[in-house]
Every structure is written in C-alpha cells, then in structure tokens.
C-alpha cells in the first residue's frame, strides 16, 4: 500500500504545478526531479499535470553509440525552433551498474541550446533500467508536454539491436545509423530497424554512406510491403546538412499519424503499456515490502540456491505470501 501523501505534500505539488503551468522553469525542473526520484509529491504533481498532456509531438531519437544522436538532436531542435516550435529534450545516458552513478554528457553537444529560453534540456540516467530509457523517461517527457513544449525529443542511450522502448514512448521514432557500423544483415536483424518511422544516415560525408543508403533503400522496400516506405534522410549533423529534410520527414510522419487515425491507436497502446508497467512495478514493490517484513525472500533465495526448490515455484510462493 502506498501511504497517502500528507496534506502538506499535496499543497507542495499543487503549488509546484501552478508555477510550472505559469511557465516557471525552476518549478518545471523540480517537478521532473521529484518524478524521477519517485517522490510522492512527484506522483501527485504528475496526476495534476496529466490533463495538460497529449499536445506535444513526442520524437524519439535512437541509434548506436557515437552515431551522433546528441548532435542530431541539437541540430533538429534548432531547426524546429526556426519553425517557431518550442522544444523539450530528455537525454538519457547509462548509469554504472556498479556504483549506480552516471556521467551525463549529452549537454556537451547541446551547448548552443542553453541560450534559448524556449528550449529545456534535461539529462537522465538509466538507473538500472534496460531498453535504452530511464524508468521515468516517459513521465519526464509528459511533464515537458504539460509545460507547453510543442515538441519533446527523447534521446536514448547508445542502443544496439533491441533497445526499442523508445518506440513505445514516442509518436515518431528516428533511428540514426552511420556508415561503417556493420553490414546490412546487422541492420536487418536489429529490432531497432523495425521501430524506425524515419531512418537517418548521419555522417553522410564519410566513405560508405552511399552504400549504406542504398542498402537501407533496398531493405525498406522489402520490409514495407503495402505500407508507406520508411523515409530515409542523409544528414551531416555537425554541419546542419539535411536537417531541414529531417524536420520535414518528422513533421510529415506526425501529420500522417493524425490523419490516418494511427495516433489514436498509438496512444491507446501507450496508455495500456504504461498502465501495465506501473501496475507491474507496484505489485513488485508490494511483494518486496511484504517479504522484507517476514524475511521470506532470503529463505526462498537460499532454498533455490541449495536446489531444494526451483525458481518458478519459489516465485509463486513469494507472491502467494504477499497476497496472504
């Protein structure tokens, strides 16, 4: 059971939310912290903000380490600003599995953005979450959405083949590839390719870019039988080349989603996933709290390690005990 927040905390959440909705960036930053830390005030603020969400275009940017995600995110942001859109960015970097610390360096490539008050950049550490995002990335994006950003860009950690969580969190997913990062079979077997709404060949001034582009074109023609082909854009993010075409492709995708009714379907899917993920999390918390009280977890762990009990049966007993 989650304890009801004390009245003072509700007051704090209400106050923070009012200030956030009035455009106070300090309150926006603090709400994201409280949400990220799973603080009860953050939960309350999120509930109050929820009716204000759903307006922003959520754009995911994913791809391998060193593909240029941060630089591309920065360049895309500048282009969207040029078009009059306000932008929020959630940039995710990995936490150390050993120390739980993190070095968050995405801002290094986004320095110019910090002069623009209509751009809000927030770095997040994965805090043990797999899949390329942090546990509260979608929620942080929702807070930026509620704060009135027209577009919210979610930049994942350097993703390999199956870190595809971003596709569930974003309306439009950009997958960034670079020449020289593996043959076309690598690209084909990667789940990351299947989630692309827009494919980007970044560092298109490097050798091998044309070959990669040709491979991708052949591949998307095979993969998208019947459906519209996934657009492929060549960019040199450091020079801003191709970024206007990228912004066009991203905005065209959003329009297509809205006009085809896919946006509604996408949002139903997302609502279902979010609800189930939170329910799963809450159930696990309850089980752990209950097992902490009676020491049952340690008992079962030892029994499994001694081969007296198989893991699946132990898990069932753990849950039964918590429900009792």
Q: Name the site residues for other proteins (rule: CB under 8 A).
A: 8-9, 12, 15-16, 19, 24-27, 29-30, 32-34, 36-37, 39, 41, 95-96, 99-105, 107-108, 111, 114-115, 120-123, 125, 127-128
Please report how close the Cβ of residue 318 comes to other proteins at its closest, in angstroms: 17
In this complex, which beta carbon is closest to other proteins, that of residue 96 or of residue 260? 96
In this complex, which beta carbon is closest to other proteins, that of residue 134 or of residue 318? 134
At a CB cut-off of 8 Å and minimum separation 6, what does 2 contact? Answer: 40, 282
In this complex, which beta carbon is closest to other proteins, that of residue 26 or of residue 267? 26
Please report how close the Cβ of residue 26 comes to other proteins at its closest, in angstroms: 4
Residue 194 phi, psi dihedral angles, 5° rounding: -70, -20
Residue 241 vs residues 3, 17, 145, 167, 238: alpha-carbon distances, Å: 53, 39, 28, 25, 8
Please report how close the Cβ of residue 197 comes to other proteins at its closest, in angstroms: 27
In this complex, which beta carbon is closest to other proteins, that of residue 102 or of residue 263? 102
**Residue 25 · residue 121 · CB < 8 Å:** no
Please report how close the Cβ of residue 120 comes to other proteins at its closest, in angstroms: 6
In this complex, which beta carbon is closest to other proteins, that of residue 292 or of residue 308? 292
Q: DSSP characters for 173-185?
A: EEEEE-TTS--HH
Mapping DSSP to helix (H, G, I), strand (E, B) and coil, where does residue 201 land?
strand
At a CB cut-off of 8 Å and minimum separation 6, what does 58 contact? Answer: 141, 145, 151, 152, 154, 169, 170, 171, 172
Please report how close the Cβ of residue 169 comes to other proteins at its closest, in angstroms: 20
């Amino acid at each position: 059971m989650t304890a009801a927040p004390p009245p003072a905390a509700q007051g704090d959440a209400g106050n923070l939310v009012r200030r956030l909705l009035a455009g106070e960036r300090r309150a926006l930053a603090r709400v994201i912290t409280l949400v990220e830390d799973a603080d009860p005030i953050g939960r309350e603020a999120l509930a109050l903000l929820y009716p204000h969400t759903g307006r922003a275009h959520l754009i995911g940017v994913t791809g391998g380490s060193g593909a240029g995600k941060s630089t591309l995110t920065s360049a895309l942001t500048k282009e969207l600003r040029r078009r009059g859109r306000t932008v929020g960015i959630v940039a995710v970097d990995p936490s150390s599995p050993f120390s739980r610390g993190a070095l968050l360096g995405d801002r290094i490539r986004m320095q110019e953005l910090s002069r623009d008050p209509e751009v809000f950049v927030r770095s997040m550490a994965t805090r043990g979450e797999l899949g390329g995002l942090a546990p509260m990335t979608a929620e942080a994006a929702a807070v930026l959405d509620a704060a009135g950003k027209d577009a919210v860009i979610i930049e994942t950690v350097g993703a390999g083949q199956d870190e595809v969580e971003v596709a569930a969190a974003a309306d439009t997913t950009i997958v960034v590839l670079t020449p020289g990062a593996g043959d076309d079979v690598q690209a084909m077997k990667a789940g990351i390719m299947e989630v692309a709404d827009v494919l980007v060949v970044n560092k298109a001034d490097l050798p091998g870019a044309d070959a990669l582009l040709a491979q991708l074109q052949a591949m998307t023609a095979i993969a998208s039988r019947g459906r519209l082909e996934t657009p492929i854009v060549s960019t040199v993010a450091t020079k801003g080349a191709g970024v206007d075409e990228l912004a066009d492709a991203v905005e065209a995708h959003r329009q297509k989603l809205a006009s085809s009714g896919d946006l509604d379907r996408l949002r139903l899917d997302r609502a279902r996933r979010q609800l189930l993920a939170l329910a799963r999390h809450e159930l696990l918390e309850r089980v752990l709290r209950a097992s902490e009280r009676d020491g049952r977890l340690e008992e079962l762990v030892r029994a499994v390690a001694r081969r007296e009990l198989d893991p699946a049966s132990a898990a069932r007993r753990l849950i039964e005990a918590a429900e009792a």
